[in-house]
């Protein structure tokens, strides 16, 4: 009997919710076959079986949540299935014991233990309240049951609705976004550089490439910008690294995340190993993952492993904006709309040109202003002379 565990489907995933079991107990399961639908903080995904066998027992029922790495079902040989019930009992006892031991060790080893009555702790655990943040009113400042209940009753300290409003739970995805951007903005010292790029040549290049390419590969500005970024990273590899605990982790591959707005949130599908891809290959992969991101059919692997991110909201008619870095990456490029704007030409006259603003957000711990500016300028130069990006 082998456990089917809750897979880690994204970098930030800590737990997943079983939406639907695609197999029933007793069903035969083949390796690679989809067996369960899981809701994660990023998206709903279908999970495949790693082994073949008979689905012996479902541990986590539909609608229930389980932490990453915990058993959600058991897969067995045909004969094993009969024994499942007995096995379960023994294992449950073991599990309870293990959990208890961990709890004891934790409590004993905690120096600044929270002063709370045993009952308050029980009630807090039941209501899902973090007891550490509660002010105690009991003897000696102890947290009492009433204190816990008062916190729950009062609701969140800030953001109580004004009269007539109400409170709504955030989706798992929104919570994940909230967590990520908060972590980024509180931990990463961002700075920002903006340049204007004349895009007339890039526009012409795009049309040419489109004509040259097969009908089914539609090339967009995002693809051309991606190519420009990838080529520039090759000469500024530091931008492609992670900052982790005071150390720079240099990445070999250039994996570009493309920010996609979907209903109720955003997804960042990642195009892996861009250093090896032509413009057409980038376009093909990009079009595919973006489309599947919108229809919610991405695999976990396609949402992880990015080393640099591009956020293009040009289609929304935004002049320029500053994006928040997706940790542990060091930079993100924010691309505004491409529009005809007046430009002074070499002879001092005014001409109309297609102009696009792009803003680079950089982690100052990794890169200073001067090299960052050179990196950004080089991207601009490549976009203005796009021939080499094919």
Partner 1 sequence: MFDLTVIGGGPGGYTAAFKASRLGMKVALVEAFKIGGVCLQAGCIPYKALLESARVSGLVRNAGEFGVDASMNGIDFSRMMSRKNKVVERLEKGLAFLVENNKVAYFDGLASLAGLGKVRVKNLKNREEQTIETKDIIIATGSKPKFIQAFAADGKKILYSDHIVALAEAPASIAILGGGPIGVETATLMRALGSSVVILEAAPRIMINEDEEISFELKKQLEKKGITIEVEAKVAEADKKDTGVTVDYTDSGGDRRSVDADCLLVAIGREGLTNGLGLETAGVGTEHGYIKVNVSMRTTASDIYAIGDVAGPPLLAHKASAEAIVAVETIAGRDTAPVDMLKIPHCTYCEPQVASIGLTEAQAAGEQRKIKTGRFSFKINGKALCESDEIGFIKIIADKDTDEILGVHMIGGEVTELIQECAEAMYAESTLEELKMAVHAHPTRSEALKEAALDADGESVMK
Given 10, 12, 144, 286, the residue binding partner 1 (CB under 8 A)? 144
List the x/- string, 318-337, binding to partner 1 by CB under 8 A: --------------------
What's the distance, Cα to Cα, between the start and end of the chain in Å? 52
Q: Does 182 bind partner 1 (CB under 8 A)?
A: no
Rounded to a whole number of angstroms, the minimum distance from the CB of residue 363 to partner 1 is 46
| Torsion angles phi and psi, residue 2, rounded to 5 | -115, 150
Q: Does 274 bind partner 1 (CB under 8 A)?
A: no
Closest CA to 360 of 326, 318, 322: 322
Given 123, 219, 260, 358, the residue binding partner 1 (CB under 8 A)? 123
Residue 320 known to be catalytic:
no
Given 1, 15, 115, 138, the residue binding partner 1 (CB under 8 A)? 138
Residue 190 known to be catalytic:
no
Q: Which of 51, 345, 368, 381 is catalytic?
A: 368
Given 8, 115, 145, 175, the residue binding partner 1 (CB under 8 A)? 145
Q: Does 362 bind partner 1 (CB under 8 A)?
A: no
CB 193 within 8 A of CB 362: yes
Going from the C-alpha of 96 to that of each of 93, 100, 101, 124, the distances in angstroms are: 5, 6, 9, 20
Closest CA to 199 of 323, 333, 357, 318: 357
Q: Does 115 bind partner 1 (CB under 8 A)?
A: no
CA distance 169 to 208: 49
User: Could you tell me whether strands 44-48 and 34-39 are parallel, antiparallel, or unpaired per DSSP bridges?
Assistant: antiparallel
Q: Does 122 bind partner 1 (CB under 8 A)?
A: yes
CB 318 within 8 A of CB 337: yes
User: Could you tell me whether strands 270-271 and 256-258 are parallel, antiparallel, or unpaired per DSSP bridges?
Assistant: antiparallel
CA 303 to chain centre: 7
Rounded to a whole number of angstroms, the minimum distance from the CB of residue 116 to partner 1 is 9
CB 49 within 8 A of CB 31: yes
Given 73, 120, 173, 267, the residue binding partner 1 (CB under 8 A)? 120
Stretch that binds partner 1, among 66-74, 119-127, 276-284, 299-307 (CB under 8 A): 119-127
Q: Looking at beta carbons only, is 143 or 389 nearer to partner 1?
A: 143
Closest CA to 351 of 359, 340, 362: 340
Going from the C-alpha of 113 to that of each of 100, 107, 116, 284, the distances in angstroms are: 18, 7, 9, 56
Rounded to a whole number of angstroms, the minimum distance from the CB of residue 167 to partner 1 is 23
Q: Does 134 bind partner 1 (CB under 8 A)?
A: no
Q: Looking at beta carbons only, is 112 or 141 nearer to partner 1?
A: 141
Stretch that binds partner 1, among 111-119, 159-167, 194-202, 252-260 (CB under 8 A): 111-119
CA distance 241 to 373: 17
Q: Looking at beta carbons only, is 147 or 198 nearer to partner 1?
A: 147
Rounded to a whole number of angstroms, the minimum distance from the CB of residue 137 to partner 1 is 7
Q: Looking at beta carbons only, is 8 or 142 nearer to partner 1?
A: 142
CB 350 within 8 A of CB 323: no
Structure tokens belonging to residue 244: 């982790």
**Interface contacts to partner 1, rule CB under 8 A:** 117-120, 122-123, 126, 137-139, 144-145
Residues marked active site are found at 364, 368
């Amino acid at each position: 009997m082998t456990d089917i565990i809750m897979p880690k489907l994204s970098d930030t995933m800590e737990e997943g919710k079983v939406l639907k079991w695609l197999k029933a107990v007793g069903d035969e399961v083949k390796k690679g076959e989809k067996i369960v639908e899981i809701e994660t903080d990023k998206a709903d995904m279908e999970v495949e079986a790693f082994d073949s066998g008979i689905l012996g027992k479902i541990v986590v029922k539909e609608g229930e949540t389980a932490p990453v790495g915990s058993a959600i079902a058991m897969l067995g040989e045909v004969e094993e299935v009969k024994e499942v019930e007995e096995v379960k009992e023994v294992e449950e006892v073991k599990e309870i014991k293990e959990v208890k031991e961990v709890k004891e060790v934790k409590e004993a080893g905690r120096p600044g233990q929270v002063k709370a009555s045993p009952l308050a702790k029980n009630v807090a655990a039941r209501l899902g309240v973090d007891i550490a943040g509660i002010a105690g009113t009991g003897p000696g400042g102890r947290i009492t049951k009433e204190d816990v209940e008062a916190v729950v009753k009062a609701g969140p300290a800030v953001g109580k609705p004004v009269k007539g409003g109400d409170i709504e739970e955030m989706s798992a995805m929104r919570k994940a976004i909230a967590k990520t951007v908060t972590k980024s903005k509180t931990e990463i010292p961002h700075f920002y550089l903006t340049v204007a790029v004349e895009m007339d040549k890039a526009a012409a290049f795009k049309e040419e490439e489109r004509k040259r390419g097969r009908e089914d590969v539609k090339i967009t500005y995002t693809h051309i910008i991606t190519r420009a970024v990838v080529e520039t990273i090759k000469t500024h590899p530091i931008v492609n690294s992670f900052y982790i605990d005071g150390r720079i982790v240099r990445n070999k591959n250039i994996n570009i995340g493309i920010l996609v707005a979907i209903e109720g949130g955003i997804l960042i599908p990642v195009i892996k190993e861009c250093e090896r891809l032509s413009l057409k290959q980038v376009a093909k992969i990009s079009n595919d993952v973006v489309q599947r991101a919108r229809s919610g059919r991405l695999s976990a692997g396609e949402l992880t492993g990015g080393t640099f991110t591009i956020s293009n909201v040009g289609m929304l008619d935004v002049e320029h904006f500053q994006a928040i870095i997706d940790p542990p990456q060091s930079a993100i490029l924010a691309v505004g709309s491409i529009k005809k704007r007046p430009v002074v030409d070499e002879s001092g006259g005014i001409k109309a040109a297609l102009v696009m603003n792009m803003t680079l957000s950089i982690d100052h711990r990794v890169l200073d202003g001067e090299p960052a500016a050179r990196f950004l300028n080089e991207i601009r130069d490549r976009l203005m002379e796009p021939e080499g990006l094919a």
